[in-house]
Amino acid sequence: MGQQTKLSDSDTSLDGRNAPAHGGVTTNGRSLRSFLRSYLVVLLLPLLFILFSVLAPSTFLTAYNMQTILTTNAVLIILAIGETAVMVTGEFDFSFGGTLGLSAAIVVMMTNLDGISAFEAIVVSFLVALLIGVLNAYFVIKLRVRSFIVTLGMGTLTTGVGLGVTGSQTVSNPSKFLTTAMTKHIAGVGLPFFYGLILVIVTWFLLEYIKTGRNMYFVGEGRKAAFLAGIHVNRIRTGVFILSALTAWLAGMVMLGQTTAVDATYGGPYLLPVFAAVFLGFTTIRPGRFNALGTLVGVLVLAIGSTGLEILSVASWITQVFDGGVLIVAVALANILGGNLIETWT
């Protein structure tokens, strides 16, 4: 019975790697430290929130501003979740920006043609995104090119194709269907945020509670051991590249619906914040592991931080300074937490 109590204690933590798992053996000082280790970045959220609320009560602390932050960061959440899955398995995907732009461009151009419905156009763009994911996987797994290189090339390549499709012009979205699906609101927050939230929850569940999720971590952290234990290493790697391409496609649809005008390079600026969010996520909730909730926290930190700074300084360049700075600090933190784990990627 004594053991039962002990076990349920550790069940209160999300994953058991956190503070409560050490409880009983360790002193209060140590459990506080490991609590901070797990939740430091999470604590940053209310701190930033209070800070900006105090500094700019009339502009930052408004329901409208909150709703806007969540709505406009839906694309970032969706992209960052796809990247999280890829990075769990020890790979990179730099091609999501290109996939996003190309998917959106295809929909726009096709619906402008006669006799093609918005739905058909969306299906075609989905298939193209799928193809991009398969190609990434093929080059990385079959031809053994580093994912870093393959996806970097693929991102530029698809952006180029996207520019070709749109004739290098910003084109507006004629699809009513998409606009409706992406601009409807619940409690003032755009639907896409909820799509992103669902993705976060599904991915978190996958990584925590599904066999494939556990195996994904092993593919990233000990690929040889995973292979020798009979895990479908390459099937999992193929899966994440496809998943990542499809989340980029979804992000493309969201962006198209939200902005009504799109250009193949629209995905580019997301490269940095996506990695900043994913690495921030690595340092929190399950420190030392890429995880979906951590990524969500990372996105929110970036979103609140850059919006707040923007409101304060009335200068949009601050966003880039902030994103870049956060990326460096997050990777440094991740390095400290993960030891040489990160070394293999960066």
CB of 100 to other proteins, least distance (A): 32
CB of 187 to other proteins, least distance (A): 30
Write down the residue that tokens 């592991």 correspond to: 289
Nearer to other proteins by C-beta: 15 or 310? 15
Nearer to other proteins by C-beta: 19 or 85? 19
CB of 32 to other proteins, least distance (A): 18
CB of 13 to other proteins, least distance (A): 8
Is the Cβ–Cβ distance between 262 and 162 less than 8 Å?
A: no
Could you give the angle at the alpha carbon of 330 between the alpha carbons of 87 and 65, nearest 5°? Answer: 100
Quote the CA–CA distance of 154 and 42 in Å, as a whole number.
Answer: 34
CB of 142 to other proteins, least distance (A): 16
Nearer to other proteins by C-beta: 114 or 343? 343
Beta strands in 88-204 (DSSP E): 171-172, 185-186, 189-190
Is the Cβ–Cβ distance between 117 and 308 less than 8 Å?
A: no
Beta carbons within 8 Å of 163's beta carbon, 6+ residues apart: 105, 264, 265
Nearer to other proteins by C-beta: 24 or 57? 24
Q: What is the DSSP string of 32-93?
A: HHHHHHHHHHHHHHHHHHHHHHHH-TTTTSSHHHHHHHHHHTHHHHHHHHHHHHHHHTT---
CB of 209 to other proteins, least distance (A): 5
Nearer to other proteins by C-beta: 162 or 213? 213
CB of 92 to other proteins, least distance (A): 19
Beta carbons within 8 Å of 246's beta carbon, 6+ residues apart: 82, 126, 129, 130, 133
CB of 7 to other proteins, least distance (A): 6
User: What tokens were used for 304?
Assistant: 């609140």
User: What tokens were used for 66?
Assistant: 């909150």
Nearer to other proteins by C-beta: 63 or 228? 228
Nearer to other proteins by C-beta: 153 or 222? 222
Nearer to other proteins by C-beta: 82 or 338? 338
Cα-based distances in Å from 85 to 224, 248, 276, 326: 19, 13, 15, 21
Q: Which positions touch other proteins (CB under 8 A)?
A: 3, 7-8, 10-11, 15-17, 21-22, 25, 208-211, 214-215, 217-218, 221-222, 224-232, 288, 338-339, 341
